[in-house]
Amino acid sequence: MISPSTRERSAARLLAEPGLQHDEAQSALAAAFAVTAIASPRARLDDASLALFGSASLCVAGQAEALADALANQLCLRPERRDHRALLLDHALAERGAHPLQIAVIGHELGRRAGLSTFVASYGGEPWTVLRGAEGLALVGPASVAGDPAADDLHPRCPHQVAHSVLRQLELAAPPEAAERARRLLRALPVRPRRCR
């Protein structure tokens, strides 16, 4: 069994990497806060994305419907803001109660694995998975789709920015030992994460 301090050091090294992906960042955080192998949540995302293969041939609205269905009906995710553990990818996937940040990341990762053009963004103060296609954009959350957002109102969030948000919320809501771990991991993140594309 890997010690908590070793998992934390490993997560800190990964979070400092410039080419970080959302699934890598969130798996590292899950491993740092729980007794979970880093590959476990990623393998679950791989399996869940299989239902979306072939969706890239659909229009953006069709892709959004397929992704929302995967989040709500296949993974059975529901928004959970009260339990700090819902901020961690492994807990969100296992317990099906996920913080909206994790739902956005999970949606992005499912879509990315299935060949869809996705990114994580904030829109109207909430995190969303954004699908991009020739005919426009669509926002996807758990069991919800909002089409045609104004591109100027979207604020893309890179993996470092999402990890920063997750860690800040854990710092505020988690028990003292976990809150202290969140503070230490925040120091591992780049001071000014690069702007997202």
- Say if 91 falls within a structural domain: yes
- Say if 191 falls within a structural domain: no
- Say if 11 falls within a structural domain: yes
- Say if 197 falls within a structural domain: no
- Say if 172 falls within a structural domain: yes
- Say if 196 falls within a structural domain: no
- Say if 114 falls within a structural domain: yes
| Domains: count for the chain | 1
Q: In the beta sheet, which residues pair with residue 190? A: none
Q: Does pTM top 0.85 for this prediction?
A: yes
Q: Which domain holds residue 49?
A: 4-186
Question: Residue 142: what pLDDT?
Answer: 64
pLDDT per position in the chain (197 positions), as tens?
677 788 889 999 999 998 899 999 999 999 898 755 545 788 889 999 999 999 999 999 999 999 999 999 999 999 999 999 999 999 899 889 999 999 999 999 999 999 999 999 999 889 999 999 988 899 998 657 676 777 788 999 999 999 999 999 999 999 999 999 999 999 999 866 555 54
Of 123, 95, 129, residue with least CA distance to 23: 129
CATH number at residue 175: 3.10.620
Mark 93-107 as b/e (b = at least 16 C-beta within 10 Å).
bbeebbbbbbbbbbb
**Helix or strand run (H / E) with residue 18:** none
C-alpha span between 167 and 112 (Å, rounded): 24
- Return the number of other C-beta atoms located less than 10 Å from residue 136's C-beta: 14
C-alpha span between 59 and 57 (Å, rounded): 7
Helix axes 39-49, 22-33, angle to 10 degrees: 140
Which two tokens mark 108? 């992005």
- Say if 170 falls within a structural domain: yes
